Structure 1
Amino acid sequence: MIHSRKIWLESMFRIADPVLESLSNRKLKELMPVDSPLVGRETYAHLEALGRLLAGIAPWLERKQDGEEEVLRDKYAVMARQAIDAGTDPNSPDFMNFTEGGQPLVDAAFLSHAIVRAPQELYGQLEPRVKQQLIECLKKTRRIKAVPSNWLLFSAMVEAALYMMGEEDFDVMRVDYALKQHEHWYLGDGTYGDGPHFHWDYYNSFVIQPMLIDIHLTFKGMYPDWDSAYEFVLSRARRYGAVLERMISPEGTFPPVGRSLAYRFGAFQLLSQLALMETLPEELDGGSVRCALTAVLQRTLAGEDTFDENGWLRIGFCGNQPDLAEGYISTGSLYLCSTLFLPLGLSSDHPFWSMRDAPWTQKRAWSGQSFPLDQSVF
């Protein structure tokens, strides 16, 4: 209940503070360590940290709160706008890479997702100079070719943000191609392939389904075929959200399956998004989902040496486990975990936060309680 929200807020601040405090003072490149199994990731790590962090905390920044929490929200919203300025100003020591290599497209998309989730706080209240900087930086990523995978959604998400910001020259074909290809890549029972093939990993939640949903919602009413497809996109997302909830053990652990495990509880972005949208699967209620995600949050952050001595996240799934890093992982990548915090965009008196504590599916199952049968979808 309210105690859960306090836990979430404290955890969010702990993760966000080093990034936003450094960027708001234009000292991110000076202060942020860049750990990675490959050399050269500092070229990308700073935009990774900014885009991924803001993608998770954007809904909380966008919604005014009450009392002390509103004071904090306003403080962090100011720092977030300063961070966007620092990262997109060519004269800033923290000016970020939007052009070199392929990776900038990925994290420009996460930054774009943040803007779509918080259009007033992360775009509307920017100074005109910063708005133009941001638009120019996002447009520069158009020169990066998206590989035939979830990357198509990165190109589409950048276009969604540009459209939301009033840019009339958004590329409708990048959006249409991403949506149509993912329809072709749907494999059944709420799961899309990452490209034409199935992968055992959490990319349906890290990227695919959250971006599909928000791209559709951004362009709602533009094309009848996009609108008619959304019904299926949402139905599949709800099914995948139900599967995610069943992944959470009675102890708050979840299976370390697939790549990018260093994103930690970012694996539950889609379940968090469904809670934010007030469209959880019918068999789930907000109280049990809140308790399940709180258990995951606490269990994961309890890992030894999750943070370094200056508060930066370390590579790992539960604690400091640098051997778990694929070559594309760096310190900046880790901030995708912030996407668990999406339900903080609901008011503190919303039923998600005010409902009584309740056991989640596995907790009910392994304690001998009744629990809903699992149902597949087409």
Structure 2
Amino acid sequence: MDRRFFIKAIPMAGVAGTLGTDKGMLKAMAAEKPAPDDRTYNVDLLIRICKPVISRLSEGKLTASMPTEVAPNYAKPVTKVTYLEAFGRTLAGLAPWLELGPDNTVEGSKRIEMLTMTRKAIAMAVDPASPDYMNFTGKFDSQPLVDGAFLAHGLIRAPKELWGKLTPTTQQQVIDGLISLRSIKAFTNNWVLFSAIIEAMLLKFGAAWDRKPIDLAVQKIMDWYKGDSMYGDGAHFHYDYYNSFVIQPMLVDVLKVMVEKGEGEKENYELALKRMQRYSAILERQVSPEGTFPVVGRSIPYRNAAFQALAQTALEHKLPEEISPEQVRCALTAVNKRIFEAPGTFDKQGWLQIGFCGHQPEIADVYTSTGSLYLCTTGFLALGLPAQDPFWSGAAQPWTAKKAWSGAMVKKDHSIDY
């Protein structure tokens, strides 16, 4: 026997002898394929999360097919709120990647498909004649204000590929739906930003807007500042991730739109951004060497949305100087693998299930339903950076905790006093 053939044949013979069937052989060969790079992994994971929502809605079949799992003691009219929750939150995280637009790569072909479906989904959500027309009123519950705000935030994040390519009819229906949410009074906490981000979106796209909710939100949030980058969720401080779920990303983007449109002071935007940079440094340091992070505070089933502020600073090329884009990529990818590869995260049809690391309904707060879970997409904002950006193309680097716990050099940490 030819020696080269003999060497090659030994491992294959061993596999065949062990597995014995063509099916087993194919499974073994598939297992030998190299793991995808970090970007491919995250793109495919984001699509896996988003596609059930976007594809069903684009066909007018969301309400007919989406589960309505709820937390213990849930007390909302779930069918009146959960669908806008799922769509608005999905759009808030998916939008930056879609804004890259079509190209001739494998990833680009995936993006073209998702862009086409997402534009159809938006039209379905706001067309009164659609079977999936969504509730933009406070008639049944105040929750639509929250998720209309996430929808508005998503459109702000994709002005060219989403808003700019909607039909005039659909654009007007979006505006009408968001304006109707003015009837809902925001609670005196992070909710003030929901009204503000909607008005900022209307301002950005040339619709009639109201300054009062923006001025109120900015004043309140600034008054609730507690120090070292952290805002209170209302007058009191809560140890949770709402600075990342809502407060800092929405505050910074509201102020950014105001500056762009000549309606706000640049100093306010720059101050909020500096605080979010410090907060991003704190978030990055919370990722353990194993890719875990503290399970603390309410709304834990939002999963990796706890890192929205960090992902947004990366997207805007505004990371703190002491943090490299590459180490953030590696940290967030490690977190995503720990969370989304846990058994029970998805049901058999591909929908997210209530939990943090798997299916854990008991960890959910009383306002949590299936739709709520899709805020996790905001942990993927950095996919809005092109593949050539150093965030994705640079060599892997250990993040802060991984360096610290391995005995490597780590620079000292300092608070801020502004």
Normalising to structure 2: TM-score of the pair? 0.88
Please tell me whether the aligned partners of residues 204 and 261 of structure 2 are also in contact (alpha carbons under 8 angstroms): no
1:330-376 deviations in Å (ceiling 9; x for gaps): 00000000001111111101010111101001000111111111110
1:154 is matched with: 194
138, 141, 148: which is aligned to 2:181? 141
Structure 1 position 226, deviation (Å) = 2.9
1:85 is matched with: 123
**Counterparts of residues 324-335 of structure 1 (less than 5 Å):** 324-335=363-374
Q: Which has the larger radius of gyration?
A: 2
**Counterparts of residues 355-370 of structure 1 (less than 5 Å):** 355-370=394-409
Structure 1 position 180, deviation (Å) = 1.1
SS at match of 1:187: strand
Structure 1 position 66, deviation (Å) = 4.6
40, 46, 62: which is aligned to 1:28? 62
1:307 is matched with: 346
355, 358, 366: which is aligned to 1:319? 358
1:262 aligns with 2:309: no
1:221-260 deviations in Å (ceiling 9; x for gaps): 5567632111210110001000000110000001000000
Structure 1 residues 165 and 284, CA gap change in structure 2 (3 angstroms): same
Please tell me whether the aligned partners of residues 52 and 333 of structure 1 are also in contact (alpha carbons under 8 angstroms): yes
Higher relative contact order (CA 8 A, sep 6+): 1
1:52 aligns with 2:89: yes
> What residue identity is the alignment partner of 2:203?
Y
**Counterparts of residues 190-209 of structure 1 (less than 5 Å):** 190-209=229-248
1:11 is matched with: 45
> What residue identity is the alignment partner of 1:140?
S
d(CA) in 2 for partners of 1:303, 1:225: 44
Please tell me whether the aligned partners of residues 51 and 114 of structure 1 are also in contact (alpha carbons under 8 angstroms): yes
SS at match of 1:311: coil
Please tell me whether the aligned partners of residues 56 and 339 of structure 1 are also in contact (alpha carbons under 8 angstroms): yes
1:226 aligns with 2:265: yes
d(CA) in 2 for partners of 1:121, 1:79: 12
Runs of 4+ in 1 over 4 A off after TM superposition: 221-225
2:79 is matched with: 42
Paired residues, what number? 377
1:95 aligns with 2:133: yes
Which sections of structure 2, spanning at least 5 residues, go unmatched?
Answer: 1-34
SS at match of 2:160: helix
Structure 1 residues 96 and 225, CA gap change in structure 2 (3 angstroms): closer
Normalising to structure 1: TM-score of the pair? 0.97
Please tell me whether the aligned partners of residues 255 and 264 of structure 2 are also in contact (alpha carbons under 8 angstroms): no
1:287-332 deviations in Å (ceiling 9; x for gaps): 1110000000001012111000000000001000011111110000
> What residue identity is the alignment partner of 1:81?
R
d(CA) in 2 for partners of 1:249, 1:221: 38
d(CA) in 1 for partners of 2:183, 2:91: 24
Structure 1 position 2, deviation (Å) = 7.6
d(CA) in 1 for partners of 2:360, 2:404: 31
Cα RMSD for the two superposed structures: 1.3
Please tell me whether the aligned partners of residues 98 and 105 of structure 1 are also in contact (alpha carbons under 8 angstroms): yes
Please tell me whether the aligned partners of residues 95 and 158 of structure 2 are also in contact (alpha carbons under 8 angstroms): yes
SS at match of 2:37: helix
SS at match of 2:226: strand
Please tell me whether the aligned partners of residues 330 and 397 of structure 2 are also in contact (alpha carbons under 8 angstroms): yes
Q: Percent identity?
A: 50
Structure 1 stretch displaced more, 299-308 or 65-74: 65-74
d(CA) in 1 for partners of 2:378, 2:233: 20
d(CA) in 2 for partners of 1:130, 1:268: 32
Which sections of structure 1, spanning at least 5 residues, go unmatched?
Answer: none
d(CA) in 1 for partners of 2:413, 2:248: 20
Please tell me whether the aligned partners of residues 145 and 194 of structure 2 are also in contact (alpha carbons under 8 angstroms): yes
Structure 1 position 129, deviation (Å) = 1.2
**Counterparts of residues 108-119 of structure 1 (less than 5 Å):** 108-119=148-159
1:189 aligns with 2:210: no
1:339 aligns with 2:373: no
d(CA) in 2 for partners of 1:60, 1:53: 12
Please tell me whether the aligned partners of residues 54 and 118 of structure 2 are also in contact (alpha carbons under 8 angstroms): yes
SS at match of 2:215: helix
d(CA) in 2 for partners of 1:105, 1:224: 24
SS at match of 1:33: coil
> What residue identity is the alignment partner of 1:164?
K
Please tell me whether the aligned partners of residues 2 and 348 of structure 1 are also in contact (alpha carbons under 8 angstroms): no
Structure 1 position 123, deviation (Å) = 1.1
d(CA) in 2 for partners of 1:212, 1:338: 19
Structure 1 residues 66 and 366, CA gap change in structure 2 (3 angstroms): farther
2:205 is matched with: 165
SS at match of 1:57: helix
SS at match of 1:121: coil
d(CA) in 1 for partners of 2:113, 2:246: 28
Please tell me whether the aligned partners of residues 2 and 353 of structure 1 are also in contact (alpha carbons under 8 angstroms): no
